[in-house]
Chain A
């Protein structure tokens, strides 16, 4: 148990569906992240939020829309996805000035796009 909880753990959706991934951290951290892990590729940073403000958008397509209502919750809204978006989506959080703190990850949400 890392203190970062992701739901759902598995999600299957069609290309025209709208769904959301949820992440919650119980660690009192100020920064939260979305990463994408595809088979045989390094983890890719998607978004970074610090104190609810987005500080990084790593050229992610607009069909992925993040939302951070407070420092403990992070969402990833999904719309009109493509089969190549199938991957493990990992949420993480950290504490510390200038992001020097240790990163804690959730178990991930396995997304399959049909």
Chain B
């Protein structure tokens, strides 16, 4: 059974710091891995999608890496800003199971001015 774990559960950093959020999954047979951002009481916004054949994706100050063999992904945020404060979720699409995404519980990030 695929399980997705995100560490840490919560993180507080001062503005300007570079930071790394971690995601691990137990079964390497995945289609892709996606990172999302969720603001309180809101829906999820897709940040980056990494296909199983890719190693990393970049968008602005965000960089996500994928190491399928070890079951790990990291989301790197450069020069953090207070507007980055949100919950960050990772999810994997399970191979051959019809679009089933398995989510981690998320990392709640707070960037202090």
Contacts and interface: CB of A to CB of B under 8 A. Distances in A.
A6 B102 CA distance: 22
B28 interface: no
A4 B45 CA distance: 11
Contacts, number: 73
A86 to B, nearest CB: 14
Given A42-B4, A43-B89, A104-B46, A50 B32 contact: no
B31 A99 contact: yes
B4 A103 contact: no
Interface in A5-51: 6, 31, 33, 40-43, 45, 48, 50
B73 to A, nearest CB: 15
A45 B34 contact: no
Contacts of A108: 41-43
A109 to B, nearest CB: 10
Interface residues of B, number: 27
State which size class the interface on A falls in: 20 to 34
Query: Chain B CB within 10 Å — which of A42, A100, A108 has the most?
Result: A42
24 contacts: A2-B46, A33-B101, A42-B4, A42-B103, A42-B105, A42-B106, A43-B89, A45-B100, A48-B100, A55-B98, A55-B99, A56-B99, A56-B100, A88-B41, A94-B99, A99-B98, A100-B32, A102-B34, A103-B34, A103-B101, A105-B43, A105-B44, A107-B42, A108-B41
Given A31-B99, A42-B102, 13 more contacts: A45-B100, A48-B99, A56-B98, A90-B44, A99-B31, A100-B32, A100-B51, A102-B34, A102-B46, A105-B43, A105-B44, A108-B43, A110-B41
